[in-house]
Each structure stands twice: as C-alpha cells, then as structure tokens.
Structure 1
Amino acid sequence: MLIKQDRLITLTASLPFILCFADRDFTKITPVLLKSTAGEFELESILFLKLRNLASLRLLLVLNLSSNRISNLEPISNCDSLQSLNVAGNLISSIDNLKCLQSLRQMESIRLKDNTYNYTNPVCKNSSYRNILLEIFPNLKAVDGERVVGQGSDLYQLCKDIDDTIKAGMLKNGQIQELPECKPWVEDGFWEIKRSNNAIIEEACKQFNDILSECRLLNHKAAHVITQTERTLSSSAQPKQYTV
C-alpha cells in the first residue's frame, strides 16, 4: 500500500508500465487505484511508478525502494522523519550518493545489501562503506539488517569475533586446516527414555516399544519381498537357452 503524507510507503516494480502521479492529489494510493490506472490485473505488471514531489513526505518513517534502478536519492532528502530506508538492489555507486541524506537525523536503519534476495549496490564493493554510513548517520542502529548499536549489538559483535577467530585458526599458510574430531555434547544414553513409576508413562512406553517392534518386523518382511522380487526379475531378464 502506498500512502501519501503518511508513515509508510513501499515501491515495487517488475514488468513494463509507467504510472505518473504528478499533479493529482491522492490522499491514499491503493493497489486497486494502481491497477485501474494502469489497466493491469496485477501489481507485478507495473514496471515504473513515478511519484513526483516525494520530498513533501515529511511524516514518512519507513521507505522501501529495493530492487529498482535508483542512482539518485536527492528527491527524498527532505523526508525529515525518515527512520528506515531500504535501497538494496539499486544502482547507488558511491558514498557521495548517500551524503545528500545526511540531514536526516532520525535515520536508524539503512539497507544497501540484502543477502536473502541477493540484492546489492555497486557501493557495497567498498569495504569501508559501513563505517562511512555510521559517520554520515550517527543515530544508526542497523546497517544491512545487522544491528550496530542497541540491544543485541553486543551479542552480534561477540559472535562475529568468535567466527573471525575460528576462521583465523583454521588457516595455516593460507590453507584451511582440518578441524579436530568433535566429541559428543552429551554422554551415551542421554536421549534414552527413562523409566518412571507413573503407570501412564509406563503404558505409553510399552505401546511405543510394541509399535517399534512391529515396524522392525514390517521392515524385515519388506526387505525380504524386495529381495525375492529382484531375484525373479533378474532371472526373467536372462535369455533362455536351449540344448540341441
């Protein structure tokens, strides 16, 4: 749902069609409105959605522009209340393309890359882009879906440090070394059903063991039938020989 002058807007696109809402004042843009204007049955049939004057969305909190062909973010530089921006899967080529948004002091989450859908941007090839983002947006709590401050960030950093340490320990002379044999976490018999004085539990265990015995018997019979069938098919497939 696309809502003008409200808190949420999501833009998606896939097939060729252009919609332009420039001079018409819609308070609410719904899927029905989009499809009727485009003459399409599904939203997936609309490729380009032009919503000019996006800069007037001063109450906008969340904006999802993922999987498009966007290279310029200046039109949303006046969305003062924006807190979450997803531009993964676009054509943002450098950090300079993001500096136009540095006046958005409410920004808490920004996503330029989404591994789930294999979305990225050319700027993500810059190994330091995450640190630069933190400098541009000092109130950021998450970058690319990973928390950098706040609840959960310490645990994430700890796990990351452990992973890096393990990877470093596995490398020797540039080659990955085999890990030592791991021992079981629990002792033998840990998962076995413990006996109890409760009659209900005892009866349940008995019934369960009876079912297991029947399953083993059926499995044995099935294996025997399969073996006999294979022998029969094998003998019938051999050419008959006659003695003169």
Structure 2
Amino acid sequence: MEPRTEKGDEGENVRITSQLLKAKTGEFDLESILLLKLRGLGIMDLGCLGECVSLEWLDLSGNAITHLGPLSSLKALAVLNISSNRITSLEPLSGCENLQSLNAAGNLLSSLQQLQGLAGLRHLESLRFTNPVGRLSNPLCTSIGYRVAMLEMFPGVKVIDGERVLGRGSELYQLCKDLDNSLKRFSSTSGAGITELASLTKPWVEEGYWDLHPARRSSIMEEAYKQFNEVLQECRELSKRADDTISQVERALNIRPDSSSYVF
C-alpha cells in the first residue's frame, strides 16, 4: 500500500505527513528518525517534517518545495540536500545549528542576501549552489564577483561548489601559485646583468620530478613535496570514509545504490 500524502484543491500540493514518514522509514516515532530520503516525490509542503527533531541526514532533492520553514527546528541536522526545488530563501536554516553540508543547487536563489541565514552556522564545511554535472545552478551564481563574495561571507567553509577552498589541498595550490609568481617577478625586475641568468632558471617542478627524487632539494621544495604526499593520503582516507558512509546509509535506508543521490 502506498504511503498516504495530502493534496491541495488542484491535486498538486503533495504534503509530508506522519504516515508518509513512518512508511518510508519504518519508524513508529518521528523523533527516532535519523536518516530520511524523500527524493522526487512532488513535495510542495514540508508538513510535519519539523517533528523529526533527531534527523541528521535529509534528502529532499527533486521536489517542488518553495519554503523551508519546518526545517528550522532540526537542530541535529548535519547533511541536507535540497537541490532541484523552487526555494528563494534559506533563512529557516539558521536554526540548523549543526549543519555541515548543504546542497542547494538548482533553486531560485538570486542574491547573496538570501544566504545570510547560513552565515552564523559555525559547523558549516561544504556549500553547493551550482553543479555543472547535473546542469543545476541558481541565478546568484551568474553574478559578477560571486566566488569572491562567497569566500568573504563564509570564511570557514572548506568546500564551495565542489572546489576545496581550505585545508592542505588549497594550501599546496597556493604555494605553487606563489612560487610561479615569484619567478615571474624575478624575471621582470632583474637588471641587465641578471637577466641572462634569470632566463636560464628552470621551472620549479622539472620533468620527471615526481619519479626521480634528487638527493638535495631546497627547503621550499621539500615542504611542497611533503604537502603533496599529505594531500594524496588525505584523499585516500576521505574516499574510504565516503564509501563507508554511503554503505551505512544504504543499509539504514534499505535502498539500492544510486550514486546521484549522494552528491552533497
């Protein structure tokens, strides 16, 4: 028997009910629900979803949601996917004090002011408002200075739109960029007697550098090599943790693997 939903006068307003939630999770008590996938059900009204106060993982992608009001009471929520909806404001999410990851790509967010509700979330680590793979975006993503403004508004966020902005990975990238810029400045400002020497300067990463390990390297090069290896190790660990988490979620929800469901 299909879980019961409530519809408006025109038969389009699918509303979340306790019957729907219990049927989807098998839980008798809404406060016991930790993981919830309500993807692509045509939901417009979040109904009693705010009663799931222990909810930690929530997927509402691919619906017709316009307002997030009931989510303001979900203090334990850590991962939220609301991509592909009709949302124009994220203000209610200011109450989700433990939110770590948010995917809001494919909505109607048109200005940075509509993101102000997220600015006070201390645990926020990952934000996504555009996803080129799924051709999802928001109007605000096309504005001039979007990337810079995001970095200023969320200085503690580690990943924005799938690109790492904090952590060892970004630090190594910045180190490489600084080294390249230093070489360019040296070449452009050197006097006539040094110009010839500068023109002979080799790239800081020579061909075969990673295969052949010179006996001696400068302290800067040594640090770059060390950080590069740390990044590789961290990527391996993150990949393993992601695989383990996805497996746990699949077992908890008793669903078949669907890689597109876990894009946060």
TM-score (norm 2): 0.46
Higher helix share: 2
What TM-score, normalized by structure 1, do the two folds share?
A: 0.49
